[in-house]
Amino acid sequence: MTTPSSKVRSLLRPLEPASKAQTATPPAYGQYPRVRMRRNRADEWTRRLVAENRLSVEDMIWPVFVHEGGKVETVPSMPGVSRLTVAAAVEAVGTAGELGIPAVAIFPVIPVDRKTPTAEEACDPANLCNSAVRAIKKAVPDVGIICDVALDPYTSHGHDGVMEGQRILNDETVEILCRQALAQAEAGVDIVAPSDMMDGRIGRIRDALDAAGRDDVRILSYAAKYASGFYGPFRDAVGSKSNLGQGDKRTYQMDPANGDEALRECALDVAEGADMLMVKPGLPYLDILYRVKQAFALPTFAYQVSGEYAMIKAAAERGWLDGERVMMESLLAFKRAGADGVLTYFAVDAARRLKAG
């Protein structure tokens, strides 16, 4: 922290006692009543003029769930969020594009009978995720598509990696992740987003993409992903909660107690070739977001995860919060902390609010 100069200190020194101030010289420069901070808050136009941060439609990425069912299904723990058919997803992404949302993140809901211990479905060029990417890219080519590179939607045990007993096998998992990323790139994804938290996967995926002539595909690394309790509704949405059962991901996702470790994770991923960095979850980790942006100055994103969304929606439904106001305030908090963009289930609602002015 910088130390104020002697001049600044003199301008901000405490006021003299009222009795002296009334009979002696005027109060020091920089003091009340000459300085009234409320003046710049008095009018709506002034508040807009002096705002330090602004939220725009271009700051948002919309997560979209797709499934193979014949109809749209609501997600009970995420009011307003649905599992979409591929056709419905194409239409929804078209609407998002018309609102100015620059990118969507596709999350597939894999049928139970296609989940296996070693996640073969993840690498199938014709799987649900890749089919959705092709359909959306064909219909809405100007909207960017992001896909997670992770195995948890595809494993029968619900973990992000293959297992030997109760141990997650790091290097064996990374091999599968490389094949998954290549299949996604072939389908037309613009950004692969490794969210598995295996060691060394960014460099290996970068090498695999480059060797396949796909050096145009960007890598958004979930570099600081915490073993958080805020993911529950997401696991409901993609159907991995029952697979994971009472298990947890603490042997590979980060301890919520740690901050310096997040910077080490990010530094490793930057050195391995990450184009962008992610902090997940969002609001409980704004300090990490700020530190990451300050340390690396890379495009840095935050994920306002399902639990954060569900809490706001549930409180708003009960009349405990002004849902729209809190939605916008929470998104602005990410910008204030340094985020270049936010993955948020509020993206479409917030975009409509911003368009309305």
Can you name the residues that pair with 344 across neighbouring β-strands?
A: 304
Let me know: does 147 contact 133? Beta carbons within 8 Å.
yes
Point out the catalytic residue in the list 115, 137, 225, 249: 225
Can you name the residues that pair with 303 across neighbouring β-strands?
A: 343
Residue located via tokens 């309790």: 229
Let me know: does 206 contact 33? Beta carbons within 8 Å.
no
The length of the chain in residues reads: 357
Q: Strand 60-66 vs strand 276-280: parallel, antiparallel, or unpaired?
A: unpaired
Residue located via tokens 């939607």: 153
Nearest to 194 by CA among 225, 164, 149: 149
Is 280 a catalytic site residue? yes
Q: How many Å apart are CA 225 and CA 150, to the nearest integer? A: 13
Let me know: does 97 contact 143? Beta carbons within 8 Å.
yes
Give the phi and the psi of residue 74 in degrees, each rounded to 5.
-75, 155
Q: How many Å apart are CA 23 and CA 6, to the nearest integer? A: 26
Residue located via tokens 């797709």: 66
Give the phi and the psi of residue 317 in degrees, each rounded to 5.
-60, -30
Point out the catalytic residue in the list 280, 293, 313, 335: 280
Calculate ∠ Cα 190-191-195, nearest 5°: 155
Catalytic residue ranges: 225, 280
